[in-house]
Amino acid sequence: MKILLPYNCTLGKGFNDPRVVGGIEKFCHSIHQSFDDVIVLDINEPKDFNKSTELIKKTALEHDVDIVICNWIQASFAGAKIVDIPFPMLVICHENSSMLSTLAKFYRLQESGHSIYLVSEYQKTKYDMMAKRTNAKLVHLSSTSVYGKQTDLVDETCEKKYLKPQSPYAKIKIIEENILKKNTKLIRYNTFRFGTIAGVSKGIRFHTAVNSFCLNAAIGEKIKVYKTALHQYRPYLSLTDAFKLFKFCIENDFFENDIYNVVSNNFTVNQIINKIKKLKKGIKIAYVNSAIMNQLSYHVDKKKLSKRGLFLDSSLDRDIANTLNLFKNIK
């Protein structure tokens, strides 16, 4: 196998230097020592990511390599061009908390057939020590969107092979969950798959269904509804119930290295529209015939969390009323 190994050999450190430290450096060093046909490409990517990426692509084509092993910095900052490289790529990166936000940048690489290798054996000593010293605990927020389209009531026992994420966001959430599953000795956590948030907060956003519909109704704009999605079920979570969860975790030391659905109730788009109609007269609906991007319907079970003593049943009607009330002075 012919391997291209781009590497930042700054500060006088090269592959033959036994003093090389750090997870990515150790991994690259082991690759160089383990394979005979390794082309080492000395780059200094912090100066110009685009140039280094072009150099990687050019060198790989010239030598007709089988695979490129690239570090996460190159992939993250020059990902758009790396995606176009026409041969397999292995992206290596540290498996730590900062990875959760960085992974989204690698989604296009995965979609293009490239792979991501999470370095777990190396350079996690300091994270181990920090977690053990502080008895680290984590409330990991995932999403019920990991289930995708389901025909039956779905719960946390749904096997990985039956998860059907429809968006980059949902796929990244699954990756995050898997990272935590590999680190059960490092940290105490629970993964909570949240339904779509509804309700009023200081940082309220209006891109989700309930809040978006309420905003349009309050200011007199038409509520755009996809006909094909009118009777699709989705799980919703009141902010009130989300706060209950956080309080429950703290008061009960609720960190079991497990997964829980966090849902107030499941409703169809049509049911939500009817709830808004009861509180706001004369709203206008614009039905769209084209298919919605995330064409899916799923009903999420919440019994597992109830069995642990937390019952979530806050009223979506109240959340709708409170959201509409934000705009009561708008004429």
d(Cα 228, Cα 296) in Å, to the nearest integer?
Answer: 10
Do the domains 129-325 and 3-123 match in fold? Answer: yes
Give the CATH number of domain 129-325: 3.40.50.720
Pairing outcome for strands 137-143 and 115-119: unpaired
Beta-carbon neighbour count of residue 319 at 10 Å? 25
pLDDT at position 288 over 80: yes
Q: Which of 52-66, 237-251, 254-268, 296-310 has the lowest mean pLDDT?
A: 52-66
Q: What does the pLDDT read at residue 16?
A: 45
Q: What does the pLDDT read at residue 2?
A: 81
- Domain map (residue ranges) of the chain: 3-123, 129-325
Report for 66-80, 148-162, 163-177: range of highest mean pLDDT: 148-162
Q: Which CATH number fits domain 3-123: 3.30.450, 3.90.660, 2.40.128, 3.40.50?
A: 3.40.50
- 47 versus 34: which is more confidently predicted? 34
d(Cα 313, Cα 311) in Å, to the nearest integer?
Answer: 6
| Encoded tokens for 245 | 């969860």
- 92 versus 230: which is more confidently predicted? 230
Farthest-apart Cα atoms in the chain, separation: 75
- 108 versus 288: which is more confidently predicted? 288
Report for 68-82, 123-137, 150-164, 172-186: range of highest mean pLDDT: 150-164
Q: What does the pLDDT read at residue 256?
A: 93
Q: What is each CA distance from 67 to 27, 87, 257, in whole angstroms?
A: 15, 6, 36
pLDDT at position 59 over 70: yes
Work out the percent of the chain whose per-residue pLDDT is above 90.
29
Q: What does the pLDDT read at residue 279?
A: 93
Q: What does the pLDDT read at residue 117?
A: 42
pLDDT band at 303 (very low <50, low <70, confident <90, very high): very high
Q: What does the pLDDT read at residue 86?
A: 59
Which whole number is the average pLDDT over 28-42?
Answer: 70
pLDDT at position 227 over 60: yes
Tens of pLDDT, residues 88-143: 666 554 444 344 444 444 444 444 555 444 443 333 444 454 455 555 678 888 99
Distance in angstroms between the alpha carbons of the first and the last residue of the chain: 70
Average pLDDT, the chain: 75
pLDDT at position 289 over 90: no
d(Cα 275, Cα 104) in Å, to the nearest integer?
Answer: 35
- 17: number of CA atoms within 13 Å, CB side? 11
Buried b (16+ CB within 10 A) or exposed e, 144-155: bbbbbebeeebb
